[in-house]
C-alpha cells in the first residue's frame, strides 16, 4: 500500500521547536519534572531504561511506556484535577483496517501505543452500534503512536503505517480537524500531524539529549484539551446522542441532534474531507449538516448556494459557518513558506453548512417515473444556475436527488453539491476544462481529453454538464434492472467510464455517442423499456453533433465566452428538456406534476453513494 500523501508531506524545521508551545506546560516546568524523574539520568542526559541497542522492538515498549505514563501522571493527574480524560495503552493486538477501493493489499496492524480518550468527544462504548473491536478501538483513540527499532530509514518506512492509523481516526470519529502521531525509537522521535492538506512533520528529535522537547511532544499528543489534539469540539456526545452546537446570527446557541447514520464521508485524509449528517430543526424539518474543506482562495460552496437561494431544482442552504484554515492549526504563515515546500502544501479552509433535506439519490429510485421527473427538474435546476452565472461542473448520480414526496414541478429532482461550481459573471472566457474536476464516470469527452498535453481550445461549458446528465441516464438505464438492483455483471462499458485513465473513458464514450446505442450498448434494461431507449437515442443524437463540433474546433481560435453562449444555451436547454418532457408524456400517459413515492421514503443528502 502506497502513501496517499506522497507529494503532500511538509517537513517543517521549526515544528519541533514550536509544537504545543503555549498549549502545554512550559519548558521550565518540564525541566523541573526531568530533574525529579527517576527515569531520566540528568548527568548522562539519557533515559535510564531505554536500551542503547535493543535486540527486539518489544524491548522498547515498557521503558517508553513508562515515560509516557510518568509525564501524563505528573502533569495531568494531580490530586485536585478532574476525572482524567487521557490514559496510555499499548496494543500489540493486530487489527485489519478497512481500506478504500483504490487501496492495494490489506494493512494489518494496529499502533503499538495509543493515547486513550474519554470525555464528551469520545463515545461511551454502548453508544457505538453494531461495531467491531476495530471501530471501538479507534472511536476511543486520541492519538496513535508507533515504536520501532532505529534504522536510518525507519521514519520513511513507517510513514504509511501511521498515516493509516490517522485515517482510521478521521473515518471512525468524523469530527477531527487533524490527528497527531509519533514514531519513536530508542534514539529519536519524529512528530507528525495529518490534516486535509496532507502531512506536517518535524525533523527527528534526540529523545535523550532533547528530553524537554520529547516530553513536550508527549504532553501535546496526550493533551486533555480535545481541541489541541484536533477535535472539532462543536460536535460532541451527550450520553448516546451526538450533538452539534452552533451560534446563530443573533448570538444564540442552537443544538442539533445528529443521526448516527452515515450519509457520506470521504475515506481519504487528503482533500475536501466531506462529511454529511442528518438532523432536524426545532420544527422537525429534516436538515443536512455538511462539513468540507475547500482550497483557500477558491470559490466556497456557501457563496454559490447563497447566490442560488430560491432557484428551483437547486439544493437550498439554511445557514453556513466558515471556519479556520489548515495553516492556522499548523501554525504556518503562508507568506513565509520556503520555496521548496510550496509545491507540497496547499491551504484549505473549513466550512460547515446547514442544508435543506431532500430525497434519495437518483440511483435509489423506486419507480421509472421518479427517474424521469428527477432527471428533468435537475436539468432545469442546472439551467437556473447557468442563468444566474453559475456553472456546476460535477453532475453525477450522487448529485441528483429525487424530490420529497408530493414535490411540485421544479422540485421533483434537485441538483446539489456546488463544491466544484464557478461563477461566470464578469468572465470574458470560460474556465479551461480540467479532467481532475468532477466525477470521472460522468465527465464529458471534452473534459476527459483535457489530460492531453495539447489541449488548447478545450473549455468547460454548460454543454459539458448536459453531456454529464446524459451519462447519468445511460448509467441508470443500462446499469440497473430495477429499484436497488444493479446489473450483474455490471456492463463493461460503464466500468470503463470510471477508469483512472481519462482517455480510456473518453474512447468508450466516443463509441457510445457516435454510433447508435443499440450497436454499442445494446438495449436498456426491461424495467425502463422503449420510452427510455428513445429518450437516450434522442439525447445521443444531440450530443453526437456537440462532440463532433468540439473535436473539430480550431485550436488557434478562442472558444466563445459566457455572454456569447446565452442565446445558444437557451435553445439547447429547450431541446434537451423537450426530449425529456416528451418521454414523460409517453411514459405516464398524461402530464403529471408531482412525485408520489412511498411517504416513508427516507430523506437523505447529496453525495450519498460512496464508490
**Across-strand partners of 286?**
280
**What letters, b where the CB count within 10 A reaches 16 and e where it falls short, cover 6-18?**
eebbbebeebbee
Angle at 353 between CA 327 and CA 237, to 5 degrees: 85
In whole angstroms, what is the distance from residue 318 CA to residue 335 CA?
A: 35
pLDDT digit string, tens, across residues 125-181: 766 665 566 677 889 999 999 999 999 999 999 999 999 999 999 999 999 999 999
State pTM to two decimals: 0.87
Give how far Cα 127 sits from Cα of 124, 130, 151, 181, Å.
5, 10, 42, 26
Q: Identify whether 168 is part of a domain.
A: yes
Looking at residue 273, the DSSP 8-state letter turns out to be -
Angle at 115 between CA 114 and CA 118, to 5 degrees: 130
Task: Work out the burial of residue 484: count CB atoms within 10 Å of its CB; fewer than 13 is exposed, 13-18 middle, 19 or more buried.
Answer: exposed
Per the CB < 8 A criterion, the answer to whether 112 and 135 are in contact is: no
In whole angstroms, what is the distance from residue 38 CA to residue 570 CA?
A: 80
In whole angstroms, what is the distance from residue 561 CA to residue 151 CA?
A: 58
Angle at 136 between CA 132 and CA 141, to 5 degrees: 145
In whole angstroms, what is the distance from residue 508 CA to residue 190 CA?
A: 48
- The residue with cell 421544479 is 410
Q: What is the dihedral of CA 57, 63, 68, 71, to 10 degrees?
A: -160
Q: How many C-alpha atoms does 400 have within 13 Å on its Cβ side?
A: 37
Number of domains in the chain: 1
Per the CB < 8 A criterion, the answer to whether 63 and 69 are in contact is: no
Contacts of 345 (CB under 8 A, 6+ apart): 8, 10, 197, 198, 332, 337
In whole angstroms, what is the distance from residue 315 CA to residue 292 CA?
A: 16
484: cell is 436497488
Angle at 253 between CA 251 and CA 256, to 5 degrees: 140
| Segments of the chain with pLDDT less than 70 | 1-2, 78-109, 126-134, 262, 426-429, 455-457, 518-521, 554, 556, 590-611
98: cell is 478497512
In whole angstroms, what is the distance from residue 481 CA to residue 469 CA?
A: 19
Q: Identify whether 104 is part of a domain.
A: yes
Task: Could you list the beta-strand ranges (E) of 375-518.
Answer: 390-391, 400-402, 413-415, 422-423, 480-482, 485-486
610: nearest Cα among 488, 477, 439: 439
For residue 315, how far is the Cα from the chain centroid?
19
Q: Identify whether 69 is part of a domain.
A: yes
Q: Identify whether 292 is part of a domain.
A: no
In whole angstroms, what is the distance from residue 270 CA to residue 198 CA?
A: 5
In whole angstroms, what is the distance from residue 97 CA to residue 3 CA?
A: 15
In whole angstroms, what is the distance from residue 521 CA to residue 200 CA?
A: 48
388: nearest Cα among 290, 438, 288, 313: 313
3-state secondary structure of 555: coil
Output the pLDDT for position 515. 82
Per the CB < 8 A criterion, the answer to whether 572 and 342 are in contact is: no
Looking at residue 367, the DSSP 8-state letter turns out to be S
Contacts of 489 (CB under 8 A, 6+ apart): none
Q: Identify whether 570 is part of a domain.
A: no
Output the pLDDT for position 429. 65
Dihedral sign of CA atoms 271, 416, 484, 507 in order:
negative
Q: Identify whether 184 is part of a domain.
A: yes
383: preceding bond cis by omega (within 30 degrees): no
3-state secondary structure of 65: helix
Angle at 249 between CA 248 and CA 254, to 5 degrees: 10
In whole angstroms, what is the distance from residue 14 CA to residue 81 CA?
A: 32
Q: Identify whether 319 is part of a domain.
A: no
Rg (C-alpha) for the chain, rounded Å, is 27
Output the pLDDT for position 357. 95
- The residue with cell 486535509 is 196
For residue 231, how far is the Cα from the chain centroid?
17
Three-state helix/strand/coil letters over 421-477: CEECCCCCCCCECCCCCCCHHHCCHHHHHHHCCCCCCCECCHHHHHHHHHHHHHHHH
Q: Identify whether 152 is part of a domain.
A: yes
Output the pLDDT for position 378. 99
Sheet with 235-238, edge to edge strand ranges: 235-238, 241-247, 253-258
Q: Which domain holds residue 157?
A: 9-229
427: cell is 468572465
Amino acid at each position: 500500500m502506497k502513501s496517499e500523501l506522497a507529494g503532500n508531506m511538509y517537513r517543517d524545521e521549526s515544528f519541533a521547536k514550536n509544537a504545543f508551545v503555549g498549549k502545554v506546560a512550559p519548558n521550565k516546568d518540564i525541566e523541573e519534572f526531568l530533574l525529579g524523574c527517576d527515569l531520566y539520568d540528568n548527568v548522562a542526559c539519557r533515559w535510564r531504561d531505554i536500551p542503547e541497542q535493543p535486540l527486539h522492538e518489544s524491548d522498547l515498549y515498557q521503558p517508553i511506556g513508562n515515560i509516557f505514563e510518568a509525564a501524563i501522571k505528573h502533569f495531568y493527574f494531580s490530586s485536585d484535577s478532574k476525572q482524567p480524560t487521557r490514559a496510555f495503552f499499548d496494543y500489540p493486538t493486530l487489527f485489519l483496517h478497512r481500506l478504500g477501493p483504490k487501496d492495494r493489499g490489506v494493512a494489518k496492524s494496529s499502533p503499538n501505543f495509543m493515547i486513550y480518550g474519554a470525555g464528551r468527544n469520545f463515545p461511551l462504548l454502548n453508544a457505538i452500534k453494531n461495531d467491531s473491536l476495530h471501530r471501538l478501538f479507534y472511536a476511543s483513540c486520541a492519538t496513535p503512536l508507533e515504536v520501532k527499532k532505529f534504522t536510518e530509514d525507519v521514519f520513511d518506512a513507517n510513514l504509511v503505517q501511521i498515516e493509516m492509523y490517522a485515517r482510521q481516526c478521521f473515518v471512525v470519529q468524523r469530527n477531527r480537524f487533524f490527528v497527531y502521531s509519533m514514531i519513536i525509537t530508542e534514539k529519536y522521535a519524529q512528530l507528525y500531524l495529518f490534516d486535509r492538506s496532507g502531512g506536517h512533520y518535524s525533523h527527528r528529535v534526540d529523545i535523550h539529549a532533547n528530553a524537554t522537547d520529547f516530553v513536550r511532544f508527549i504532553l501535546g499528543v496526550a493533551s486533555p484539551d480535545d481541541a489541541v489534539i484536533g477535535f472539532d469540539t462543536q460536535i460532541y456526545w451527550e450520553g448516546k446522542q451526538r450533538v452539534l452546537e452552533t451560534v446563530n446570527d443573533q448570538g444564540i446557541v442552537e443544538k442539533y441532534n445528529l443521526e448516527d447514520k452515515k450519509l457520506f464521508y470521504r475515506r481519504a485524509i487528503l482533500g475536501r474531507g466531506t462529511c454529511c449528517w442528518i438532523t432536524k430543526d426545532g420544527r422537525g424539518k429534516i436538515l443536512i449538516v455538511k462539513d468540507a474543506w475547500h482550497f483557500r482562495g477558491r470559490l466556497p460552496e456557501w457563496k454559490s448556494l447563497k447566490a442560488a437561494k430560491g432557484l428551483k431544482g437547486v439544493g437550498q442552504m439554511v445557514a453556513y459557518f466558515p471556519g479556520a484554515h489548515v495553516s492556522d492549526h499548523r501554525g504556518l504563515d503562508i507568506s513565509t513558506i520556503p520555496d521548496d515546500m510550496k509545491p507540497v502544501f496547499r491551504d484549505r479552509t473549513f466550512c460547515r453548512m446547514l442544508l435543506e433535506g431532500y430525497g434519495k439519490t437518483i440511483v435509489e429510485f423506486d419507480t421509472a417515473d421518479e427517474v424521469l421527473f428527477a432527471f428533468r427538474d435537475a436539468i432545469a435546476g442546472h439551467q437556473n444556475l447557468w442563468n444566474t452565472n453559475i456553472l456546476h461542473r460535477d453532475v453525477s448520480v450522487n448529485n441528483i436527488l429525487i424530490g420529497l414526496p408530493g414535490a411540485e414541478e421544479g422540485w421533483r429532482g434537485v441538483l446539489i453539491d456546488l463544491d466544484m461550481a464557478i461563477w461566470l459573471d464578469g468572465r470574458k472566457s470560460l474556465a479551461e476544462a480540467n479532467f481532475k474536476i468532477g466525477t470521472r464516470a460522468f465527465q464529458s469527452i471534452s473534459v476527459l481529453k483535457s489530460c492531453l498535453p495539447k489541449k488548447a481550445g478545450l473549455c468547460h461549458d454548460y454543454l459539458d454538464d448536459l453531456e454529464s446528465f446524459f451519462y447519468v441516464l445511460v448509467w441508470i438505464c443500462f446499469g440497473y434492472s430495477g429499484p436497488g438492483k444493479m446489473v450483474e455483471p455490471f456492463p463493461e462499458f460503464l466500468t470503463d467510464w470510471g477508469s483512472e485513465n481519462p482517455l480510456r473513458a473518453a474512447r468508450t464514450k466516443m463509441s457510445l455517442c457516435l454510433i447508435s446505442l443499440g450497436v454499442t450498448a445494446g438495449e436498456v434494461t426491461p424495467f425502463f423499456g422503449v420510452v427510455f431507449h428513445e429518450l437516450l437515442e434522442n439525447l445521443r443524437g444531440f450530443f453526437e453533433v456537440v462532440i463532433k463540433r468540439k473535436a473539430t474546433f480550431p485550436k488557434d481560435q478562442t472558444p466563445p465566452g459566457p455572454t456569447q453562449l446565452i442565446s445558444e444555451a437557451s435553445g439547447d436547454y429547450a431541446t434537451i428538456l423537450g426530449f425529456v418532457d416528451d418521454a414523460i408524456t409517453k411514459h405516464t400517459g398524461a402530464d403529471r406534476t408531482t412525485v408520489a413515492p412511498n411517504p416513508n421514503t427516507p430523506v437523505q443528502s447529496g453525495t450519498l453513494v460512496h464508490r
